Structure 1
Amino acid sequence: MSRQTLLKQFTPIDGIAAIVALIALGGVLWSPKLSHSLARATGVMRPVKVSVDVRNVPTAEPNALIEAALAQGSTSIVIRNQPAGSLKLKGIEDLRSKLVAVQPDGSVVIAMDPNLAANSVLDARFILEGDGTVSKTGVVLAGTKLKIGTPVELEGSSYRINGTVSGVSVQ
């Protein structure tokens, strides 16, 4: 067939169909799941350990909240109002303040502050693990840079609390 015959058979609808096919192919190639899988396969994604400090959260039973969170095993994280997925909850450390008293013989006695039981507040450090991208400027989790001091929100089935990132380490 000659070129003129091929051009006569090619209609504007064929051109629109070709453009739609190219856009669909581009969407598949740039999809978040595929890019996440490619990043994991190429070694760009690495295990990241994140510590989030939660201070002065009023709750009726802080210990029950900690036990419920640990039983769930994971928590959703929101970084700068952007959902960043779910991370494994490896542990929760108690950060309640302690009273320190030096005795006359020089020994030091440490006791829990009795005022905290009356106030019923949660002071804890959530230890989280997940996969992140390591760049020159730091760790990127779900497209958002994660650095010490970054405000985050942790959400589980029975809680939604605000905290601050206190540690980020690449494993």
Structure 2
Amino acid sequence: MTILDSKGRLFGKFNILDLGAALVILLVIFGIFFFPGTTGSVAQVGVTTKPVEIDLIVRGLNVRDPQQLFDQGLTKGGKTNVIIRNQPHGTINIKSARLLPRTVLVPQPDGSVKEMPDPKTNNFSTDMLLTLDGRATITNNGPVMGSSKLKIGVPIELDGFNYNFNASVIDIRVKDKS
């Protein structure tokens, strides 16, 4: 009796391709259950969580009545839903929100440049500065909210009852008090 016959069967009973496929399936199942990877618990021992203040800048938000947005949505002491790098984080406190004046640079006859109020050719474009107050996990690479790193320049989406817009992080302050 030969080990491999002319039809590719092992000992005349098992097809070698079927045996190889069964072995691959068993190895995959073994790998899934005995080596699951790094998707375990998110609870970490010894990680420090501290309060942070995040300054956001919003440029060119198209809104008909910015004051109504502040009165009904972005109120000081209110809350907003935050999405960081397309990952929902949850609600966070609004510490302050203020409109920034629209300005243009105007060259002067002596060669200098002055910043002057914009003549408001576009009445619906608004700039604002927001400060959010929340808690972040402090790592060696900086603060982390949810599963997203907070860094200057990171886009954050703010979502509320009557608004949904993007802002950019311009400053992060980690407070010492827990």
TM-score by length of 2: 0.64
- The alignment covers a number of residue pairs equal to 132
Q: Which residue of 2 aligns with 1:52?
A: 56
**Deviation, structure 1 residue 98:** 3.0
What does 1:49-128 correspond to in 2, within 5 Å? 49-68=53-72, 69-70=74-75, 73-98=78-103, 112-115=117-120, 118-128=122-132
Letter in 1 for 2:90: G
Partners of 1:124 and 1:71 in 2: how far apart? 14
Q: 2:154 aligns with which of 150, 153, 161?
A: 150
Partners of 2:85 and 2:107 in 1: how far apart? 43
What does 1:120-139 correspond to in 2, within 5 Å? 120-139=124-143
What percentage of residue pairs aligned between the two structures are identical? 30
Letter in 2 for 1:166: I
C-alpha change, 1:111 and 1:88, in structure 2 (3 Å) is same
C-alpha change, 1:150 and 1:87, in structure 2 (3 Å) is same
Offset from partner CA, 1:3-25 (integer Å, 9 cap, x none) = xxxxxxxxxxxxxxxxxxxxxxx
- What secondary structure sits across from 1:129 in the alignment? strand
**Deviation, structure 1 residue 152:** 1.1
The answer for unaligned runs of 5 or more in structure 2 is: 1-39, 109-113
Letter in 1 for 2:97: I
Larger radius of gyration: 2
Offset from partner CA, 1:51-87 (integer Å, 9 cap, x none) = 1111101111112112221067011110110001111
**Deviation, structure 1 residue 131:** 0.5
Partners of 1:128 and 1:72 in 2: how far apart? 10
Offset from partner CA, 1:80-102 (integer Å, 9 cap, x none) = 10001111001112223235789
- In angstroms, what is the RMSD of aligned CA positions? 2.9
TM-score by length of 1: 0.66
Partners of 2:140 and 2:79 in 1: how far apart? 28
Partners of 1:84 and 1:170 in 2: how far apart? 18
Letter in 2 for 1:150: V
Q: Would you tell me which structure has more helix in proportion to its own residues?
A: 1
